[in-house]
Structure 1
């Protein structure tokens, strides 16, 4: 078998080639956060492999602890990449807490004479971070909806990545246990978990994982473009067309539990806010109202921005009047003298109703609320209540 130095040099060269190819072919075209994290991870792994080449030289006292730390930083970036697929924020302290611990322990554990200084903490940190990455990928799989052939391919790649990450995590966990129980110089540890075996394993997995990550990066880019096409840029709510599609699917799905209504909301005298206090103040009012809607409605309904200062909600499971009263209370809060009041129009809906008609009814009720003095909610009568007949409001094919 090749000696450890030769294998580490080969690993570094392979990693450099893979980084160059991945950066040029994937990161520059997708600019996805996942591909960015993987580029950072590859960079740290390359630096770690180069630093370990100084083992046995006078520079070992510094190079060995830094090699441990940069290796764990690479694993932390793998975890951060998996977290980015779930659109979860990665805080700096979360990224650095394990590497910082490894750095301190490695320097305190006599790195001048021991190439395994801080070894137990280093191996445990690798196991924990890569295991956490496998968990993030498993959570993405759990939340992944149905789709066409592209989504099936994405699920396959995610599954492969989750399995590979889990295998690496288990390997490092077993390596940690063997390190503590028998020590790094024991023949069993050298044969099964030594530097040569580990470097060969990581070299093979490096290539497999990188090309799998290319598919994940392209999917993340597609997902980000999908969000841009369906979400309002200021408030993060669904845009008009996406709300109408999603709400119609909800109405076509089946019986609602409890009350169900479409609510159209409009900020009163909003133009005067823009003209008098500036567009920044208007934007604050819009985002504050959107946040209040999200806090109150949550997962019980759908939220959208129709345009300008007009919003639309599909509310289920609670009386609409109580919902809009709570939204108005939270929205104005301590800034009641600054935030404009809100008028609401409400239209009752039942499964099978046409969402466009429901929004039109709610908009008519909103007009009545405005005419009656604003800062109030008005419920529109059902079609059969208006006409005295059983007018069909159901969606037609």
Structure 2
């Protein structure tokens, strides 16, 4: 049985509606994540866009292409925003609104009441662009990208490639061409869209679960105030790093830092100022160290750094840089930041247990405190 384009569009709308409802109740209501919200929005826009094209056989056909194209491009833009939220990067409002607006305007000035392909050239360009951007976002990651996410990126890239081929066929063959209508016209595109939405929605559900697991894992190892590793997270990550030191024959340095007279900040300026100081010191640590270094908050006003491949003297220079950055943060905070004292321990390839290294750094830190604070002391290598 041959299905006409209108029947396929009704089926597409039913699929989008069903998947949107399932995704809303199965994922968004439990996670409330921007990722899930954007995917639900995309389903709603695809549903509305497909339904709008049913106006083509009515006196209101002049609305079909301008509104339908804008809604479908908006759905593709929402997929991009959903993928972008996985990296906790906000979607640009001008991209979200620009694509649909351009598609609507192009169709509106192209005689939509009599031209069934009004604005299709701009529509195809924007769909290709938005889905291509979504594929790029899915492929981007911090240090690694999961197989599921990469599979989704490949699927989105394939859809973007399909729209690009459709664009080339539209330009070369024209919308009335037999090749265009047989292989990349409205009917094949609607079938492809239904298949993609069905597969992508279930993959997105699995990807959402994977992302939530990652968020929970990060929350379990991250200090809620400063964003650095918490004590347990640092000890776990640093323990793994030290085991690699022994295998690879690497060296480095461990730095234990403590804010001087921190209690006076709370007493004189309030606990909110104390929190500001802690966050400012954490920011100074992040700015001074490399991406591969480990920085954590041990508790209270005590911080710790593990610096692979760094000598004790270099670690001392990094500590001085942190103090300079911390002092400069006082201007924005509106009060003078406390100073900091540091205990530094060189780590050799046959390094001792992590807790022993921290104890040795604590001794060096105590010496720095006893000598008047606001300084760093290098302790003896502990093996």
TM-score normalized by the length of structure 1: 0.88
Q: 1:168 — aligned with what?
A: 159
Is the partner of 1:238 in helix, strand or coil? coil
1:346 aligned onto 2:335 = no
Q: 2:301 — aligned with what?
A: 309
Q: What is the deviation of 1:221?
A: 0.9
Alpha-carbon distance between aligned partners in 2 of 1:367 and 1:101, rounded to the nearest angstrom: 65
1:135 aligned onto 2:133 = no
* Alpha-carbon spacing, 1:101–1:281, altered in 2? closer, same or farther (3 Å): farther
1:292 aligned onto 2:284 = yes
* Alpha-carbon spacing, 1:278–1:251, altered in 2? closer, same or farther (3 Å): same
Q: What is the deviation of 1:263?
A: 0.7
Q: 2:6 — aligned with what?
A: 5
Alpha-carbon distance between aligned partners in 1 of 2:111 and 2:323, rounded to the nearest angstrom: 63
List per-residue Cα deviations over 1:252-297 (Å, max 9, x = no partner).
1137898621111111222221222122222221111111111110
Q: 1:372 — aligned with what?
A: 371
Is the partner of 1:232 in helix, strand or coil? coil
Query: Can you give the 5+ residue segments of structure 2 that lack an aligned partner in the other structure?
Result: none
Q: Which moves more between the two structures, 240-249 or 374-383?
A: 374-383
Q: Report if the CA contact (8 A) 1:32-1:220 is conserved.
A: no
Is the partner of 1:312 in helix, strand or coil? strand
Q: 2:100 — aligned with what?
A: 99
Q: Report if the CA contact (8 A) 1:257-1:317 is conserved.
A: no
Q: 2:15 — aligned with what?
A: 14
Is the partner of 1:185 in helix, strand or coil? coil
Q: 2:85 — aligned with what?
A: 84
Q: 2:234 — aligned with what?
A: 243
Counterpart selection for 2:315 from 317, 320, 325 = 320
Q: Which moves more between the two structures, 92-101 or 287-296?
A: 92-101
Counterpart selection for 1:330 from 319, 325, 328 = 325
Q: Report if the CA contact (8 A) 1:128-1:169 is conserved.
A: yes
What is the RMSD of the two structures over their aligned residues, measured on CA atoms?
Answer: 2.2
Q: What is the deviation of 1:175?
A: 0.6
Q: Which moves more between the two structures, 107-116 or 177-186?
A: 107-116
Alpha-carbon distance between aligned partners in 2 of 1:47 and 1:187, rounded to the nearest angstrom: 29
Alpha-carbon distance between aligned partners in 1 of 2:32 and 2:55, rounded to the nearest angstrom: 35
Is the partner of 2:113 in helix, strand or coil? coil
Alpha-carbon distance between aligned partners in 2 of 1:334 and 1:167, rounded to the nearest angstrom: 48
Is the partner of 2:328 in helix, strand or coil? helix
Is the partner of 1:347 in helix, strand or coil? strand
Q: Report if the CA contact (8 A) 2:280-2:329 is conserved.
A: no
Q: Report if the CA contact (8 A) 1:300-1:317 is conserved.
A: no
Q: What is the deviation of 1:172?
A: 0.5
1:182 aligned onto 2:173 = yes
Q: Report if the CA contact (8 A) 1:268-1:374 is conserved.
A: yes
Q: Which moves more between the two structures, 116-125 or 58-67?
A: 58-67
List per-residue Cα deviations over 1:21-59 (Å, max 9, x = no partner).
121122223333322221111111111111111124343
Alpha-carbon distance between aligned partners in 2 of 1:278 and 1:101, rounded to the nearest angstrom: 53
Alpha-carbon distance between aligned partners in 1 of 2:360 and 2:260, rounded to the nearest angstrom: 19
Alpha-carbon distance between aligned partners in 1 of 2:292 and 2:217, rounded to the nearest angstrom: 23
Moved over 6 A (4+): 255-259
* Alpha-carbon spacing, 1:129–1:334, altered in 2? closer, same or farther (3 Å): same
Alpha-carbon distance between aligned partners in 1 of 2:226 and 2:104, rounded to the nearest angstrom: 42
Q: Report if the CA contact (8 A) 1:251-1:352 is conserved.
A: no
Q: What is the deviation of 1:141?
A: 9.8
Alpha-carbon distance between aligned partners in 2 of 1:243 and 1:141, rounded to the nearest angstrom: 19
Is the partner of 2:153 in helix, strand or coil? helix
Alpha-carbon distance between aligned partners in 2 of 1:366 and 1:204, rounded to the nearest angstrom: 63
Query: Can you give the 5+ residue segments of structure 1 that lack an aligned partner in the other structure?
Result: 145-153, 384-392
